[in-house]
């Protein structure tokens, strides 16, 4: 079963799942590997036969949808973005929250095994907490994949997942366990994980900071992106920030958002 056949298959199947091929072009190996395994398990001839199988069995689409999730993540991924969150966004939001006496609420949407929300927790605990003592913060993290969320609960990671973190943080926040690294409990307790499909469900707002990186803007087709970002907008606090990730941008002409740092793909709710 060749890669070109998988590409042709994905170009046919992804729009039927309301997903977009360009987002998958560079990472197609992950879904292709899982689809090929499924084809072998079903003892089918190849991608053409699997396509026919899908056309005859609507329930198989749910499995295909699961194969088409990209799960790559790591701590402090996109250092420029996290430095901006640390140096500008969170201090500004924390100041405003202190002045109004409200908790500061963040949401990591598509949080994989916790690398992204825990990076926010590290920023808060190691850099900002002392300056804003007494202020309540809440970090909610959602993902569709229960297995990844189980790993987030365990909070044990290979060294490669920590390579973008400032070295001192690696030392202060993790303890070695065999060849892996466990995030110390004090950095885990402020993060709440929920299993949710962002296409159907979202945690209640208001949020001051939402990270939706390498998910909707990357992999969802445009009409689905519009639905998702409209619902996210409805959960944003006025002036709150939305971080999309390097390859994402909001669909053209969406109301309620203004670009704040174009090169970092950060927008503000206005
Ligand atoms: C590529 S990872 C990105 C992880 C992290 N945001 C980052 O940028 O490092 C995409 C994550 O989105 C999750 N995901 C995919 N489809 C989803 C959906 N419909 N609802 C919620 N999460 C989803 C995947 O399980 C995966 O953990």
Counting residues of the chain whose pLDDT is more than 90, the rounded percentage is 95
> What's the rounded Cα separation, in Å, for the pair 17 and 136?
39
What is the token pair recorded at 246? 């390097």
Strand boundaries in 123-256, DSSP class E: 137-143, 156-158, 174-177, 180-183, 191-195, 207-211, 236-243
Asked if the model's pLDDT at residue 2 lies above 80, the reply is no
Q: Which of 265, 148, 136 is nearest to 212 (CA)?
A: 265
Local confidence band at 205 (pLDDT 50, 70, 90 cut-offs): very high
The mean pLDDT of 228-247, rounded to a whole number, is: 96
The mean pLDDT of 249-267, rounded to a whole number, is: 95
164 lies in the same domain as 189: yes
> What's the rounded Cα separation, in Å, for the pair 82 and 99?
24
Burial class (CB within 10 angstroms; exposed 0-12, middle 13-18, buried 19+) of 1: middle
Burial class (CB within 10 angstroms; exposed 0-12, middle 13-18, buried 19+) of 246: middle
User: What's the CA-to-centroid distance between 218 and ligand 1, angstroms?
Assistant: 10
73 in a domain, yes or no? no
Rounded to 5 degrees, φ, ψ at 180 are -110, 180
What is the token pair recorded at 17? 């799942």
218 in a domain, yes or no? yes
217 lies in the same domain as 87: yes
Counting residues of the chain whose pLDDT is more than 70, the rounded percentage is 100
90 lies in the same domain as 204: yes
pLDDT tens digit string along 66-108?
999 999 999 999 999 999 999 999 999 999 999 999 999 999 9
- Please name the helix (run of DSSP H) or strand (run of DSSP E) that holds residue 267, with its range, or none: strand 266-269
**Which residue's CA is the nearest one to ligand 1's atom 25?**
145
162 lies in the same domain as 239: yes
Residue 54 confidence (pLDDT): 98
171 lies in the same domain as 234: yes
Structural domain of 60: 3-67
- Residues within 6 Å of ligand 1 by CB: 69-73, 77, 110, 112, 116, 143-145, 148, 197-199, 213-215, 245
Residue 135 confidence (pLDDT): 87
Asked if the model's pLDDT at residue 246 lies above 90, the reply is no
Cα torsion 226, 216, 35, 112: sign: negative
180 lies in the same domain as 254: yes
93 lies in the same domain as 211: yes
Rounded to 5 degrees, φ, ψ at 260 are -105, -50
Answer yes or no: are the C-beta atoms of 242 and 202 closer than 8 Å: no
254 lies in the same domain as 174: yes
pLDDT tens digit string along 20-53?
999 999 999 999 999 999 999 999 999 999 999 9
Residue 136 confidence (pLDDT): 85
**Which residue's CA is the nearest one to ligand 1's atom 2?**
71
The mean pLDDT of 193-202, rounded to a whole number, is: 98
- Average model confidence (pLDDT) for the chain? 96
Local confidence band at 166 (pLDDT 50, 70, 90 cut-offs): very high
Asked if the model's pLDDT at residue 175 lies above 90, the reply is yes
If one residue of 20, 29, 31, 69 were mutated to test the ligand 1 pocket, choosing by the most ligand atoms within 8 A of its CB, it would be 69
Cα torsion 203, 148, 182, 75: sign: negative
The mean pLDDT of 150-166, rounded to a whole number, is: 97
> How many structural domains compose the chain?
2
Answer yes or no: are the C-beta atoms of 199 and 228 closer than 8 Å: yes
Strand 137-143 versus strand 191-195 pairing type: parallel
Work out the number of other CB atoms within 10 angstroms of the CB of residue 66. Answer: 12
pTM (two decimals): 0.96
Asked if the model's pLDDT at residue 153 lies above 80, the reply is yes
Task: Report how far apart the first and last C-alpha atoms of the chain are (Å, whole number).
Answer: 49
Residue 18 confidence (pLDDT): 98
Cα torsion 129, 161, 188, 114: sign: positive
Residue 134 confidence (pLDDT): 83
User: What's the CA-to-centroid distance between 153 and ligand 1, angstroms?
Assistant: 16
pLDDT tens digit string along 101-149?
999 999 999 999 999 999 999 999 999 999 998 888 999 999 999 999 9
Strand 191-195 versus strand 236-243 pairing type: unpaired
Burial class (CB within 10 angstroms; exposed 0-12, middle 13-18, buried 19+) of 221: middle
Residue 116 confidence (pLDDT): 98
């Amino acid at each position: 079963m060749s890669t070109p056949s998988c590409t042709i298959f994905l170009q046919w199947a992804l729009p039927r799942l309301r997903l977009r091929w360009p987002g998958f072009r560079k990472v197609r190996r992950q879904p292709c590997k899982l689809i090929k395994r499924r084809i072998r398990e079903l003892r089918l001839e190849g991608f053409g036969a699997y396509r026919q199988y899908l056309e005859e069995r609507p329930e198989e689409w749910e499995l295909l949808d699961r194969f088409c999730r990209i799960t790559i993540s790591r701590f402090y991924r996109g250092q420029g973005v996290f430095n901006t969150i640390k140096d500008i966004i969170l201090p500004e939001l924390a100041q405003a929250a202190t002045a109004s006496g409200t908790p500061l609420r963040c949401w990591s949407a598509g949080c994989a095994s916790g690398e992204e929300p825990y990076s926010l927790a590290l920023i808060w605990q190691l850099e900002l907490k002392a300056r804003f003592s007494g202020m309540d913060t809440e970090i909610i993290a959602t993902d569709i994949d229960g297995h990844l969320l189980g790993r987030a609960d365990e909070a044990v990671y290979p060294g490669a997942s920590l390579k973008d973190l400032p070295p001192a943080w690696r030392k202060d926040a993790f303890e070695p366990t065999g060849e892996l690294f466990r995030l110390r409990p004090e950095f885990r307790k402020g993060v709440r994980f929920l299993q949710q499909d962002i296409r159907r469900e979202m945690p209640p707002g208001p949020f001051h900071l939402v990270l939706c990186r390498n998910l909707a803007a990357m992999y969802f087709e445009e009409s689905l992106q519009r639905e998702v970002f409209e619902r996210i907008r409805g959960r944003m606090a006025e002036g709150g920030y939305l971080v999309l990730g390097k390859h994402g941008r909001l669909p053209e002409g969406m109301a309620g958002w203004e670009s704040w740092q174009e090169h970092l793909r950060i927008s503000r709710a206005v």
